[in-house]
């Protein structure tokens, strides 16, 4: 089974690297491994996040994996200077793309998630049927 590690992917521009830091490895079946992009925002709630969980299925005949990706859109209030999350794009088996999120953030979130899924660690996890430990 794969070993937990950071994942580096390309941003939407196809050139810039972004690192999703290994925040919490899975401790076993049903427990999510968590990665966070810690270079974004000034608070943990501002950071894009990937979660991957695995478990037994069909009486032990199959492994089920479920991935979740959250990409927050942040904005700074020019009056107060407070930065907050104003919208979130979520992806798992199904994608939820808010119509009121700007196209730049939609493009960035979509590209980052697709590139995370294309990473060697993620593909190895799916191939093995286990989240990294």
Q: Where are the domains of the chain?
A: 7-128
Please report, rounded to a whole number, the percentage of residues in the chain having pLDDT higher than 70: 97
CATH 3.40.50.2300 fits 7-128, yes or no: no
* pLDDT recorded at residue 94: 53
* Stronger pLDDT, 120 or 101, i.e. the higher one: 120
Do 54 and 27 form a contact (C-beta atoms < 8 A)?
no
Mean pLDDT of the chain: 90
pLDDT (tens digit per residue) in 61-101: 789 889 999 999 999 999 999 999 999 999 886 566 777 88
Beta bridge mates, 54 = 65
* pLDDT recorded at residue 95: 64
Residue-by-residue DSSP string for the chain: -PPP--EEEE-TTSS-EEEEEEEE---STT--EEEE-TTSSSSGGGS-EEEEEEEEETTTTEEEEEEEEEEEEEEE-TTT--EEEEEEEEESSSEE--TTS-HHHHHHHHHHHHHHHTSHHHHHHHHHTS---
Q: Is the pLDDT of residue 56 over 60?
A: yes
d(CA 67, CA 125): 11
* pLDDT recorded at residue 11: 92
Q: Is the pLDDT of residue 4 over 60?
A: yes
* Stronger pLDDT, 113 or 70, i.e. the higher one: 70
* pLDDT recorded at residue 101: 81
């Amino acid at each position: 089974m794969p070993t937990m590690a950071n994942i580096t992917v390309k941003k939407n521009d196809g050139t810039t690297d972004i690192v999703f830091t290994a925040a919490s490895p899975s401790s076993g079946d049903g427990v999510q491994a968590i990665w966070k992009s810690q270079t974004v925002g000034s608070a943990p709630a501002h950071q894009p996040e990937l979660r991957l969980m695995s478990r037994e299925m069909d009486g032990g005949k199959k492994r089920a994996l479920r991935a979740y990706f959250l990409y927050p859109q942040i904005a700074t209030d020019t009056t107060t200077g407070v930065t907050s999350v104003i919208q979130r794009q979520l992806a798992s088996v199904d994608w939820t793309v808010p119509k009121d999120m700007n196209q730049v953030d939609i493009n960035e979130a979509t590209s980052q998630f697709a590139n995370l899924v294309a990473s060697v660690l993620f593909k190895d996890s799916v191939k093995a049927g286990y989240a990294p430990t």
